[in-house]
């Protein structure tokens, strides 16, 4: 179940094969609000591979959702991508820089829903409220696949069946408000998978669901990943979920990736003080004593008041005056993972 099922067996995860599906380099997405510029995503480098699950981990407001939405270019105003590239490698080997595509352009629309699809946190508000479930799925199929209406309907019912919705032919005619939360999220997944995407982005797909349903939905996603051989980017703040399904993990804090690596190195040998603090804040069954659960000290700074230097320094137990508040640490390899922290750079040795 989602909580603290830590990977104990030492099978290490094989390194990714081939070229990444999506390569992000120096991605910046900023929100130009009346009160100032909110730097939601501030220089992110990430690779997403097919047939692997990448988990993006971080607290609320760390920019993980905005980063994911930037891939599909569905960031709402006043948000804009201001720098960087998002290179998508299509099945035929051609590449498109999604960050530079014209908004609403045909090439962008053809990637959306067909090559890369997305499921969202709130299955209720993410489905059109007064359109039948079936119609919403059929609509997607007709957009991207060469089918007539009858075939699309058949395909949609098949999908509903595949994602575990009982009596799919009946549910095809149902409105979203007639379904339970779990069923809605299944319908949402059916819609996302309707064109057999190569990458599925799931933005906290289980947050709004109860615990048993959460596990079912995660299992479903994992199963479908195997079946369709697709890449999955799973956004979550739930460490249990990460341990359960991830191959790769990236930890974000205030719009930056502070540490990334495969799930074993992150869980067994966390390098960044933030990652360590996150892992310590999880309750463990059979922990030595009934001591207070450690929490990360302080609060996430106001988005308009980013600390200078390393953004985590205001909450960091290893803050080094004169270093951390002067320069920004870059992501550098350390063991099997990469970390952005001065504790691990050669110039400043510590410990």
Partner 1 sequence: MTSVTENIPVDNEPQAPELLGPRALMWRKFRRHRIAYFSLWIVGIIYFIALFGDFVAPQAHDERNRRAIFAPPQGIHFIVEEEDGSRHFQIHARRLQMEIDRATMRRTYEEDPNDIIPLGFFVEGHEYDLLWMIPSNTHLFGPVDADDHVYFFGSDRLGRDILSRIIIGTKISMSIGLVGVAISLIVGVTLGGISGYYGGWIDNIIQRLIEFIRSIPTIPLWMGLAAAIPLDWPPLRTYFVVTIIVSMIGWTSLAREVRGKFLSLRNEDFITAARLDGLTDWQVIRKHMVPSFSSHIIASLTLAVPLMILAETSLSFLGIGLQPPIVSWGTLLKEAQNIRTIIEAPWLLIAPGTMIVIAVLALNFLGDGLRDAADPHAH
Partner 2 sequence: MLGFLLRRLLYMIPTVFLVSVVTFIIIQLPPGDYLDTLAAEMSDSGGLDEGTMQALTEQYGLGQPIYVQYYKWMSGILLDGNFGISFERNLPVNDLIWDRLGWTFTISILTLLFIWAVALPIGIYSAVRKYSVGDYAATFFGFIGLAVPNFLLALVMMYVAFKYFGQSVGGLVSPEYLEEPWSWEKFVDLLKHIWMPIVVVGTSGAAALIRIMRANLLDELYRPYVVTARAKGMSEFQLLLRYPVRVALNPFVSTIGWILPTLVSGEIIVAVVMNLPTTGPLLLRALLVQDMYLAGSLILIVSLLTVLGTLISDLLLAWIDPRIRYQ
- Min dist. Cβ of residue 71 to partner 1 (A): 26
Span interacting with partner 1, options 61-69, 181-189, 198-206, 314-322, rule CB under 8 A:
314-322
Strand 337-339 to strand 332-334: parallel, antiparallel, or no bridges (unpaired)? antiparallel
> CA 269, CA 122: separation in Å to the nearest integer?
34
By a kind-dependent CB cut-off of 5 to 8 A, residue 117 interacts, out of partner 1, partner 2, none, with: partner 2
Residues forming a β-bridge with 87: 23, 97
| Rounded Cα gap, residues 152 and 138, in angstroms | 6
Determine if 295 is a binding residue for partner 1 (CB under 8 A): no
Among partner 2, partner 1, none, the one that 111 touches (CB under a kind-dependent 5 to 8 A) is partner 2
Under 8 Å between Cβ of 255 and 45:
no
Dihedrals phi, psi of 260, to nearest 5 degrees = -145, 155
Show the binding pattern over residues 158-197: x = contacts partner 2 (CB under 8 A), - = does not: -----------------x-xx---------x--x------
CA 350 to CA 334: how far, in whole Å?
Answer: 15
Of 5-13, 113-121, 225-233, 313-321, the window that binds partner 1 (rule: CB under 8 A) is 313-321
346 scored as a contact of partner 1 (CB under 8 A): no
Interface with partner 2 (CB under 8 A), residue from 33, 125, 180, 229 = 125
Cβ contacts of 280-284, under 8 Å, gap ≥ 24: 282/3, 282/4, 282/239, 282/240, 283/3, 283/4, 284/4
305 binds, among partner 1, partner 2, none (CB under 5 to 8 A by kind): partner 1
**What pairs with residue 81 in β-bridges?**
29
128's contact among partner 2, partner 1, none, with CB below 5 to 8 A by partner kind, is partner 2
Residue 61 binding partner 1, by CB under 8 A: no
Strands 116-119 and 199-203: parallel
**Shortest Å, Cβ 307 to partner 1:** 7
DSSP of 86-125? EEEE-TTS-EEETTTSPTT-HHHHHHBTTTEEEE-S-TTT
14 contact, one of partner 1, partner 2, none, CB 5-8 Å limit per kind: none
b/e for 144-157, b at 16 or more Cβ within 10 A? beeeeeeebbebbb
Nearest distance from residue 208's CB to partner 1, in Å?
20
Binding interface with partner 1 (CB under 8 A): 35-36, 276, 301-302, 304-308, 313-314, 317-319, 321, 325, 350-351
Binding interface with partner 2 (CB under 8 A): 69, 72, 74, 76, 104, 109-114, 117-118, 120, 122, 125-131, 139-140, 143-144, 175, 177-178, 188, 191
């Amino acid at each position: 179940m989602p909580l603290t099922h830590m990977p104990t067996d030492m099978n290490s995860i094989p390194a990714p094969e081939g070229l990444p599906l999506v390569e992000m380099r120096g991605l910046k997405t900023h929100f130009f609000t009346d009160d100032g510029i909110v730097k939601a995503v501030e220089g992110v480098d990430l690779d997403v591979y097919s047939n692997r699950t990448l988990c993006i981990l971080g607290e609320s407001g760390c920019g993980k959702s905005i980063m994911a939405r930037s891939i599909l270019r569905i960031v709402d105003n006043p948000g804009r991508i201001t720098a960087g590239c998002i290179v998508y490698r299509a099945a035929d080997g051609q590449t498109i820089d999604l960050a530079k595509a014209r908004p609403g352009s045909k090439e962008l629309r053809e990637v959306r829903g067909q090559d890369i699809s997305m499921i969202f946190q709130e299955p209720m508000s993410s489905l059109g409220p007064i359109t039948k479930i079936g119609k919403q799925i059929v609509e997607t199929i007709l957009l991207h696949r060469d089918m007539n209406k009858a075939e699309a309907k058949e395909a949609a019912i098949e999908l509903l069946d595949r994602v575990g919705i009982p009596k799919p032919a009946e549910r095809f005619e149902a409105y979203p408000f007639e379904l339970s939360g779990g069923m809605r999220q299944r319908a949402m997944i059916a819609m996302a998978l309707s064109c057999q995407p190569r990458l599925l982005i799931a933005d906290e797909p289980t947050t709004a669901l109860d615990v048993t349903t959460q596990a079912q939905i995660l299992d479903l996603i994992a199963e479908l990943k195997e079946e369709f051989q697709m890449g999955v980017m799973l956004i979550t703040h739930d460490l249990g979920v990460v341990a359960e399904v991830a191959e790769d993990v990236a930890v974000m804090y205030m719009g930056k990736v502070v540490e990334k690596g495969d799930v074993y190195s992150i869980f067994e040998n966390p390098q960044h003080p933030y990652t360590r603090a996150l892992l310590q804040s999880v309750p463990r069954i059979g922990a030595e004593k009934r001591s207070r659960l450690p929490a990360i000290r302080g609060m996430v700074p106001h988005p308009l008041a980013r600390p200078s230097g390393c953004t985590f320094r205001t909450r960091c137990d290893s803050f080094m005056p004169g270093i951390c508040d002067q320069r920004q640490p870059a992501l550098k390899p350390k063991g099997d993972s990469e970390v952005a922290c001065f504790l691990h750079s050669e110039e400043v040795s510590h410990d």
